[in-house]
Structure 1
Amino acid sequence: MTDTRNQPISARNLDQYGHAELPWSRPRDVLTSDSASVDLTFFVSTVRPDGRPHSAGVGAVWVDDTLYFVSGPRTRRARNLAVNPACTVSVRLRGIDLVLEGDATRVTGSATLDHVAAFYRDSGWPTSVEGGAFTAPFTAPSAGPPPWHLYRLTVHTAFGVATAEPHGATRWDFAH
């Protein structure tokens, strides 16, 4: 699978206090319900060409069981991804902290760009598609000037640590 629509191929309980393994549906359902309506802060971590880490907050959305995020083409994040697509995305969700590990690929297909742009607009960011990228009257200062490229995260592994009942910690692995 290339995204998280299906269940993980395996899960491993990481909890050391006897709590049950968490189902993948728990973070997936919160991402689905809260992505458009709750102010979630996502952080993308990439690797610089010299091996040093880089992390920055991004505008990310969960659409059709896939995580998308934007980046200006001249940002450190975009330059790192151009060399090495491996990255992590972290977010504190309602009741669970989540880290997604995978590869980010730039989206250039107009149908997907239009679909995700509509989702961003419904979420309050008035974006439009021009020349295979996003543009809008405003964005976060760290995003750089428009245009902004859209990236799709292909999740390989996810880690969840519950911050509310039922507690637990789980690793989910996905086929790629």
Structure 2
Amino acid sequence: MTDPEPVETTNLDRYGNAPLPWSRALERLGSDLVHVSTTTFLATAGKDGRPHSAGIGSLWLDGDLFFTSGPHTRKSRNLAVNPACAVSFGLEGLDLVLEGSAARVTTARTLEKVAESYREGGWPVAVADDALTAPYSAPSAGPPPWYVYRLSFDTAVGVATAAPHGAMRWRFAH
């Protein structure tokens, strides 16, 4: 996929700041999410509707957001029954939330591309069957193997934490 382009933009800023361009968010995603240490949280809800938020290792690759989770974690169990979710980032100069749905990735070619990008970022991961494995991961990921998910987002909200300031909502077509 190529980087998505918004079909609708709304300036949420109440202080007279100019609209933030989507290109600013894309630039931060592309540069900040090559580092496994970038702060990222996934919010899900299970079949009972209870919310859950947990840290994840995310990756921006070819216009898509990927993340990992162990099959027995609450976040993976929630996604199995309700793929709707939101992913929040503390990027350099921009807090960003992507809202949409996540689907598990099982194709060998995509898994290998994701694994290669994670390795370039410092995580020594390998593809094993239809998931990833490595000597270690974040404690919240559970034990290996780890599933890979792709987020298809339809809404993004960004709040600039550095000049030029502002707040925006971008909507995307599927």
TM-score class, shorter-chain normalisation, is over 0.9
CA–CA distance in 2 between the matches of 1:67 and 1:82? 18
What residue is the counterpart of 2:100 in the other structure? 102
**Paired residue for 1:82, among 80, 83, 87?**
80
**Paired residue for 1:150, among 148, 151, 171?**
148
> Conserved in 2, the CA contact under 8 Å of 1:45 and 1:87?
yes
Provide the TM-score with structure 1 as the length reference: 0.96
Cα shift at 1:48: 1.7
1:164 aligns with 2:162: yes
Aligned length: 174
What residue is the counterpart of 2:54 in the other structure? 56
Cα shift at 1:6: 3.0
CA–CA distance in 1 between the matches of 2:29 and 2:168? 17
Which structure 1 segments of 5+ residues have no match? none
**CA-to-aligned-CA distance 1:8-65 (integer Å, 9 cap, x gap):** 1111000000111111110110111121147311000000211110000001111111
Give 3-state SS (helix, strand or coil) of 1:114's partner: helix
Which structure 2 segments of 5+ residues have no match? none
What residue is the counterpart of 1:69 in the other structure? 67
User: Alignment RMSD, CA only?
Assistant: 1.1
Provide the TM-score with structure 2 as the length reference: 0.97
> Conserved in 2, the CA contact under 8 Å of 1:42 and 1:59?
yes
Aligned sequence identity (%): 59
> Conserved in 1, the CA contact under 8 Å of 2:159 and 2:168?
yes
Tell me which moved more, 38-47 or 155-164: 38-47
What residue is the counterpart of 1:121 in the other structure? 119
Give 3-state SS (helix, strand or coil) of 1:111's partner: helix
> Conserved in 1, the CA contact under 8 Å of 2:72 and 2:142?
yes
What residue is the counterpart of 1:43 in the other structure? 41
What residue is the counterpart of 2:138 in the other structure? 140
